[in-house]
Structure 1
Amino acid sequence: MLVNQTAYLLATGDSYIGARGIINGWSPRVQSDEYTTAQIWLKNGPGDTFESIEAGWMVNPKLFTDAQPRIFIRWTDPNQRRWWLSLKDDVIGYWPFEIFSYLQKKALFVRWGGDVYSKNVKGVKPHTTTAMGSGDFASGLFKVACYIYNVRIVDDSLQLKYPEWVHTDSEEPNCYSALNYQKNPALEPYFYFGGPGRGPNCP
């Protein structure tokens, strides 16, 4: 069974009715029966019963029969308030509120970042060689690491704005890393994430 490994920027402590970010695209190395994503999640609900909606790009050789990144959407509950999905300024779809319980009106968490789905993560050795993002660590920064910029949430004010409070995390920082990097105080941070998977510090 595939399990996921994440590196992400997290916004909590508010009620969110939307989120946005500009994700740069890569074609990272992926083992044939695994996949990797760069995406935005909106989540609500307790423990393992949470609901989420997700959108971004994915490299999934088994599903798509090649290693090219593709736009994807996903949600946790397959069963006229709507969560709208836009690509640039074009609306391309929506999730109807009827398919949700916890996410009918708002999300309590927003995450921007990457996922790797594999049987060989979270302490299983040898670790997968499936890469996240560009395949380079977040410390590589611009033109090297995958990034998301222009990070925004929408709360009850109905205004797009940078989240008031965020933090970064990576479940296996020796394999995949996360860094919210602000070059100087006059500029907004760029969120960088990713990594190669198995390596000298990720056996």
Structure 2
Amino acid sequence: MAPPCGSERRWSRAVKMTFYLFFLIPMSSAGNGKTNTIFGKKQKLEIQQQLKRLNKPALKSIEGPDGDIIDCVDIYKQPAFDHPLLKNHTIQMRPSSYPEGFSFDEINDVSSNFEPEFTQPWHLNGRCPEGTIPIRRTKEEDLLRAGSVANFGRKKYHTIPDAQNKIEVNPHEYAMIGEAGDKYYGMSVEMNLWNPHTQEDNEFSISQFLLTNGVYVQDLNAIEGGAMVYKDLYGDKETRIFISWTDDEYQQTGCFNLACPGFVQVNKQIAMGARVTPYSKYDGNQFALKFHVWKDINARGDWWLSINQRDFGYWPSSLFSILSDSASTVKWGGEVLNYYKDGQHTTTQMGSGHFAEEGAGKASFFKNLNVIDGLQIQRAPRDTMTLMSKPNCYNIIDYGDYFYFGGPGRNPNCP
């Protein structure tokens, strides 16, 4: 294990302020934690209309052993094309180019027997046919947990009241690293797969990557993805794969997975929002998800995503105002939502639930970190900044192109 950096790197005041503003405002949330909502006739009609919008007609449906229903939807009838900017969109079935070192030609060959290193439970009961994509079906109970049809799948800025100080408290907590100050045309990462405990149904635990324009204003652009546990959204406390994007600081855009139209999926093996297994085990076998995101500069400039070296789909460049050109910040790490149940920090875990200093096989890791910089060169991060919003609850140790992170939440030093 390499030693941690010995001194804090110095940035210009402007860059540092931008980075802290970006870090300190929460990125991910959805719903409002309400359950058991009683709906009248109007609301029930809205639910049925929303379900019809979200659940496209399936050519085949597969029920997994975990209760998820996966609909195999015609690739040309997927939710992306509900977006007004994509009405006449032509699907690009694969990128026109890969950054150096990113080529997956052999395993993307449809005749290849390559399988992702992770599995999803629905695979046990069938696969989607050619010309379709798998979409996790949204159920009525999913919308009920959201508290309203409009809230389902959406990200929101969460606060909690502090009556004593008469202020609103930010419940989002982070252990992340990032680089800013250049133009970025992509990134790669291999992130550890765990099943962290979440104490409350409306709390989540996320391991994620983000590419953004770096400033929290109304025109914030962001692309993100990773793995998350979030019972309010999914109905259980299993680890699920996710993506998201926004062009307006999550005001009108910004949903998990395919709940908001925009992302164009081309892969027929991976269902976004479905469970991923196996999980890593403490002091045992370790499993990871590999993500690559890059801008296909030789074609339309779309942002492509690959998962475990298989092209998954892309965010069309036309969705964005600023990311249509490039990103200015890349980040990796963990985030939790902590609602201070009964005035205490909750026991919601980040990563493996163990602190970074426990190291290999025990703490969660992000490794093989790379960015594609303004010169279109793939390189390891440099001059990174670290954020630990509550280091006694969750922490991070950065070793350059990899880091360990995580924590248990409430403990004697994190009351």
Question: Normalising by structure 2, what TM-score?
Answer: 0.45
Deviation at 1:142, TM superposition (A): 0.7
Query: Which structure carries more helix by proportion?
Result: 2
In structure 2, distance between residues paired with 1:63 and 1:45: 27
Q: Check whether the contact 2:184–2:327 (CA below 8 A) recurs between aligned residues.
A: yes
Q: Check whether the contact 1:45–1:102 (CA below 8 A) recurs between aligned residues.
A: no
In structure 2, distance between residues paired with 1:126 and 1:200: 11
Q: How does 1:46-61 map to 2 (within 5 A)?
A: 46-49=215-218, 50-61=220-231
Structure-2 residue corresponding to 1:76: 246
1:151 corresponds to which of 363, 369, 378? 369
- 3-state SS, counterpart of residue 13 of structure 1: strand
Change (3 A) 1:100 1:145: same
In structure 1, distance between residues paired with 2:238 and 2:223: 22
CA-to-aligned-CA distance 1:149-200 (integer Å, 9 cap, x gap): 000000133232102321322111111101113xxxxxx6421111111111
The answer as to 2:354 corresponding to 1:136 is yes
Higher relative contact order (CA 8 A, sep 6+): 1
Q: Check whether the contact 2:207–2:334 (CA below 8 A) recurs between aligned residues.
A: yes
Counterpart AA for 2:305: L
Structure-1 residue corresponding to 2:334: 114
The answer as to 2:337 corresponding to 1:125 is no
Gaps of 5+ in 1: 182-187
Deviation at 1:68, TM superposition (A): 1.7
User: Relative to structure 2, which stretch is displaced further, 145-154 or 90-99?
Assistant: 90-99
Look at both structures and tell me which one has the larger radius of gyration over its CA atoms.
2
Counterpart AA for 2:188: R
Change (3 A) 1:106 1:140: same
Structure-1 residue corresponding to 2:210: 41
- Equivalent residues, number: 195
Q: Check whether the contact 2:206–2:336 (CA below 8 A) recurs between aligned residues.
A: yes
Deviation at 1:45, TM superposition (A): 4.7
User: Relative to structure 2, which stretch is displaced further, 14-23 or 95-104?
Assistant: 95-104
1:160 corresponds to which of 378, 383, 393? 378
The answer as to 2:6 corresponding to 1:6 is no
The answer as to 2:67 corresponding to 1:67 is no
Counterpart AA for 1:21: V
User: Relative to structure 2, which stretch is displaced further, 67-76 or 16-25?
Assistant: 67-76
Query: Which structure carries more strand by proportion?
Result: 1
